[in-house]
Structure 1
């Protein structure tokens, strides 16, 4: 059943990515898609575990003496050396059927397509790993793996594009509401409950917390960032797109997008969100003492819930870089992407 279902992924995802299964036939397709996704679960689990081991050896130090290596060293290819090699049982990422396998929520991360939101910049996203610029906040190291759900194999040389809000809940280029909406109050009730209108782009030169990087030979893209802040109506999140095709512009180190294979959002467990809330500069969030943060389960537009459809899970698995949260966090996630898919690269509301 699995090979047949996987072969049909491009067609099925085009039909069902934004549609609720209603008929018996649609529900059966959804069940088949879920089974096909779980088919890759052992591969995803091994893939993530190997990356964690490699990172721990490099970043967490030896004999209880954690220390963060230099930037170039942290992202050296040698850090992941060997994770794509064969094992005594066969290919490292072979797609074995799921049998008596405990599938942890954080190891089978195959997210559906969800809205990109109104703050993506089609032009000007830099190609870089360090996206923090001069933004203050908790050090966040992101380790994002990409596998192809049609093969269960990691995908090298695809561009992972991410963007997120700063510690006080603002996106680069969008510092203030429109003048006529300065006193706007959040939507009450309905799917848009808690949301404000989009802040216009008034600073074209700002690029903080935006960037893209190609996956390496192991299918991994790594970024240095700060932990994102929150704004009214939305749970804490990071946006992402995956481009199998793109054109670089060396003169300003940006790119023009080609085919878009995936649009999604990543989240964090509420426990770490609440811990970060107590740290400066997150305490300076202008809505901290009024509307406060939106918890995951109250995320507007049902984005957090939609991202969990069919057993998928878009929540980072996080580990402390040192003994306390303030020393920084490393966050792992693996995206299962239909590399044959093609979506429009513009916000559809």
Structure 2
């Protein structure tokens, strides 16, 4: 049996041939997926410690004399994830007196490892701002995202890689894409097949819109944090957040970026139970398809994207682990997830359709 690192090195030449949202079919592609899956098992203990430390450090920050919810800048200050001494009573503490503080228990399905899902039609090749707060005054439920990145070859946090994310707003629209093509107004969703429930992609008609889009580099601890709102849903798709990871990039004068080294394409999801609860909150309750086509549950996600995100043998977990920021859900949520990537992989930074 070859060591995992050796298997990954041997398979790197094949990684570039695995297109986004392409089911592994050839023996080489299947072996790539299985090797990365083995890396997930191999890295699980390290990721457990990684994520538990992130949660503990954040919670200790809140417990250290701050009776109220910290502001965005305080919560995501550079020292938030600095090493802090633990205590035996941590597990008995509560965050703001309401939410139990517990170390994350990460099983062997921790990592979102393989770029097997489509980036979708709403990514902007140019113009994604480099920023942590991507909400841009969009109304919705406060959502703080804590996204860790590890190197599957070393099982160690991966600093200084750019995590790029984008999502729909509370009523299911992406920045720059408010309306369908004129000849497709009134189009009905696809019935049956892998595209069941989908409409044709809306064109980009407002070039300057950038809400709910942004990228930020991981810090020395391999963590990128974002302030956003909980995403809404649209026909045929489960609620999700898109992501790309770039090991190398260049910041442009207008505070956007460019890169020719894409190492990961993926999508994150949320538990259906949380999705259904948030559906009742304003402005999510104003989704224009709520009383017609309604939301698509994870297990019915079109193009099999939710299923593909679990990997060919179902061993990955693309669902955020959510904690309340306060005593009730309306005070906001913080979501944790860890991605394992092979920083040596390189993919075309363009939508495959």
Per-residue displacement from partner, 1:11-46 (whole Å, max 9, x unpaired)? Answer: 3433556343465x7756654442232111111111
Per-residue displacement from partner, 1:270-298 (whole Å, max 9, x unpaired)? Answer: 01101110100000000000100000000
CA distance 1:19–1:169, change in 2 (3 Å) = closer
Q: CA deviation at 1:222?
A: 0.2
CA distance 1:70–1:27, change in 2 (3 Å) = closer
Q: Is the 8 A contact 2:235 2:296 kept in 1?
A: yes
- CA RMSD of superposed structures (Å): 2.0
1:254 aligns to 2:238 (yes or no):
no
Q: CA deviation at 1:253?
A: 1.1
Once structures 1 and 2 are overlaid, which stretch shifts more, 309-318 or 106-115? 106-115
Per-residue displacement from partner, 1:151-188 (whole Å, max 9, x unpaired)? Answer: 11111111100000000000000001111111100000
CA distance 1:230–1:19, change in 2 (3 Å) = closer
Paired residue secondary structure (2:146): strand
Kindly report which structure 2 residues correspond to 1:141-220, keeping only aligned pairs within 5 A, or say none. Answer: 141-220=144-223
**Count of residue pairs brought into register by the alignment:** 327
Partner of 1:48: 51
Partner of 1:75: 76
Q: Is the 8 A contact 1:5 1:33 kept in 2?
A: no
Q: Is the 8 A contact 2:176 2:205 kept in 1?
A: yes
Q: CA deviation at 1:111?
A: 4.0
Question: Structure 1 CA distance, aligned partners of 2:228 and 2:134?
Answer: 6
Paired residue secondary structure (1:40): helix
* 2:12 corresponds to which of 10, 33, 47: 10
Question: Structure 2 CA distance, aligned partners of 1:28 and 1:210?
Answer: 34
1:338 aligns to 2:339 (yes or no):
no
Question: Structure 1 CA distance, aligned partners of 2:117 and 2:32?
Answer: 19
Q: CA deviation at 1:81?
A: 1.0
Q: Is the 8 A contact 1:242 1:261 kept in 2?
A: yes
CA distance 1:304–1:105, change in 2 (3 Å) = farther
Question: Structure 2 CA distance, aligned partners of 1:245 and 1:26?
Answer: 25
Once structures 1 and 2 are overlaid, which stretch shifts more, 106-115 or 42-51? 106-115
TM-score, length-scaled by structure 1 = 0.88
CA distance 1:324–1:15, change in 2 (3 Å) = same
Q: Is the 8 A contact 1:136 1:281 kept in 2?
A: yes
CA distance 1:325–1:205, change in 2 (3 Å) = same
TM-score, length-scaled by structure 2 = 0.87
* 1:124 corresponds to which of 124, 127, 133: 127
Question: Structure 2 CA distance, aligned partners of 1:141 and 1:106?
Answer: 22
Q: Is the 8 A contact 2:37 2:113 kept in 1?
A: no
Per-residue displacement from partner, 1:38-77 (whole Å, max 9, x unpaired)? Answer: 1111111111111111121224x369x8632122221222
Gap regions ≥5 residues in structure 1: 84-101
Q: Is the 8 A contact 1:270 1:296 kept in 2?
A: yes
Q: CA deviation at 1:6?
A: 2.9
Q: CA deviation at 1:105?
A: 6.0
Question: Structure 2 CA distance, aligned partners of 1:4 and 1:136?
Answer: 48
CA distance 1:167–1:216, change in 2 (3 Å) = same
Per-residue displacement from partner, 1:99-127 (whole Å, max 9, x unpaired)? Answer: xxx85266344344310000000111111
Question: Structure 1 CA distance, aligned partners of 2:270 and 2:14?
Answer: 29
